[in-house]
Structures are given as C-alpha cells and as structure tokens.
Structure 1
C-alpha cells in the first residue's frame, strides 16, 4: 500500500488523485475506506502502462471499491483542486449522487468525460479536467513551436532554390 502524499486520512467527499504511469486516475472518497470512481475496462491498480488504453474506450463503469484496491502500489493524494474556485456541494448530496450511479455504464471520453470530469462534477457540480487542459496546452505550445520553426525557415532559409541546388551539386 502506498501512503498518501501527506499521510492524511481523506474525508467523505474528498477527491483522490492517483498517480498512474503517464496520467492520473481520479476517485471520490465516500467513507469507511471506500471510493467511487469511473473506471474504463483497462483501469485497475496493476494495469501499469496498459491502462493508458482507456483513451480508446467509449464506455466506463461507476464502481465502489476499497481505496487500497484502486490505488494499488501507486501514490495518491487528496486533491480538492477546485475548492478555491467553486463551493463544494454538500457531502450528503455528493455521496447520494455517487451511490445512485453505482454499476451504471456511462459514456467515456478522455477529453469530455473522463474520471476527473466525473469526480469534479460530483464535488462541484462542474465537470472539469485539469490534466486534459494541461495536455491540450502542451499540444498548443508544441504546435506553435513547430509552426515558428517553419516560419523562421521560410524567412531566413535559402532565397534562391536553384543556387542552393547548384551549391549542393558542387559540394559533391
């Protein structure tokens, strides 16, 4: 069993961030050592890198499991990441809604409906995913960098293709 980041016991309604290889899985603590989470078929504690295949799933199941069976050997932390932005819902409402969804198959989309969207909607009434936002921001920055390199090459690159080809032939 991996300890929490601060070794603090979660309270019902807390968001649990589990650090898998290459991504984070999210669950909501409901008390007595249990969490409820949205789990694609490939999502389980010992799945390792193969759980990354969840991006290809379009359906996931709402499950209630012991926190340690979901965390496995991974690290986790309590991360109520949007408390400074939104007022958390009443704990009884969070848990009632989470339990009403148990066993249901829900649409799953890594960009619009993943496990982080699921738990933030339960806690705040707003489905959000910071890790998707980070990935998209990195993609935009990378795309801009590639575009910038291409633009620089176009501006400062060879002006006369024929001369450049001639020079290349002479160097052979």
Structure 2
C-alpha cells in the first residue's frame, strides 16, 4: 500500500511539474528567472515574448510601438458582442473559461496588458528551435489577427509564435506534457493501480457493464501500450 501511495504521489507531481528533486529542471528554472531579472535590450519588432500566466507560460510577438500580438483564449466573445468589454485586459478567469470553451483569438494588446504584471522573457524560445528566425515575423502575426482555432495541446499561443517566427508550429509545453503522460502510461505500476481501482468500483457498485468493462479494458489497454 505504501508503494502504491508513493507511486500515485510521484505521478501527480509529474503531471503538475512539481519536480522538486530534478536538478536539471531546477537549474533551467533558475536560469529563466535570472534572465527575467537581467535588463533586456530594447525590444525589436518580431521578438518572441513570454510571461508566466496561470499555470502555463504565455507567448506573444512584439509588433513595435509597445504592441504585442498573441493568441489567447477568452470567454467574453461568447457572452457579449461589446467590443469595448472584449478589448479590455483578459483576466485569468476569462482566459481559463475561454480555454475550456475553446474560444480564442489573435489580438493586439499593449506590452503592459500582455505581461499582466509579470516580468518578460525575450526570445528564450530561440534556444529550443534549431532554425533561424524568418523575416517579417511581425507581418505573419498581423495577418492572423482575429478569431483563431484553439486547442490547449495542439494549437496554443506557443504554436502561434513558433509558426510566425520559424514557420513551424511547435510547443515545448505540449511536448513536456506528452512526455510525462507517456511515462505514466508506460509505467507498469499504472496497470496495477487501474486494476485495483476497477476492482474497488466493482465491489462498491456491483457487477455491471459500466464497472466490469472498464475494469478489464483499461488495464489491458495500458498493458498493451506499455
């Protein structure tokens, strides 16, 4: 039982990126914080900006004149057509609800509104991409202003900026999440945990298709996937 609890704690920690004992992760986060504290050179049109926002990192393209184009979820366009309200600063509540509803747009905000009180990291994503930035990055971003298809994993703000800057949509956050998910699925202890939970549900709710089939199919699928 102790091993089971340890396993669950380990996997939940992975999902939420609480890698307290991962020195490489800690070092990378410390480097990012140091870079945020270091005074950055004047922003140039086409720079990629990133800021912490809710539990994610948010990205945008600097357009010049203190303006930033960024893909951001927002629930307000679903609720109202009032342009003045929609153009106001997007709060975290609006962002999260828009993310759930999958309603998003590429919009232009001031640098201050984009940062939402956080410090800004400039062109940090260049270290991840092996290709040099394309010309006319800002123009590519400006052409996409307006309603935009959104998916938390497959079409988010990081995909938007990497497409504009490098011509290939890619998200480091999505890749990290998928790696964590893959490690959980491929861990054979997941099969044991899912089987035990299935047995508990059968004992508690009785033998029925809604309890028996998941008890068999989920552990079997995880076993085959591992």
Change (3 A) 1:42 1:25: farther
Change (3 A) 1:101 1:117: same
Match of 1:31?
A: 64
Distance, in Å, in 2 between the alignment partners of 1:116 and 1:30 is: 16
Which residue, out of 94, 100, 110, partners 2:137? 94
What's the C-alpha RMSD, in Å, of the aligned pairs? 2.7
Q: Does 1:60 align with 2:104?
A: yes
Structure 1 gap segments, 5+ residues each: 155-172
Distance, in Å, in 2 between the alignment partners of 1:41 and 1:15 is: 21
Q: Does 1:85 align with 2:130?
A: yes
Q: Looking at secondary structure, tell me which structure has more helix per residue.
A: 2
Greater RCO (CA < 8 Å, at least 6 residues apart):
1
Match of 2:223?
A: none
Change (3 A) 1:51 1:133: same
Which residue, out of 43, 54, 62, partners 1:21? 54
SS of residue matched to 1:64: strand
Q: How many residues align?
A: 147
Q: Looking at secondary structure, tell me which structure has more strand per residue.
A: 1
- Scaled by the length of structure 1, the TM-score of the pair is 0.72
Structure 2 gap segments, 5+ residues each: 1-34, 77-87, 196-226
TM-superposed CA distance for 1:10, in Å, is 2.5
- Scaled by the length of structure 2, the TM-score of the pair is 0.56
Distance, in Å, in 2 between the alignment partners of 1:22 and 1:54 is: 15
Match of 2:120?
A: 76
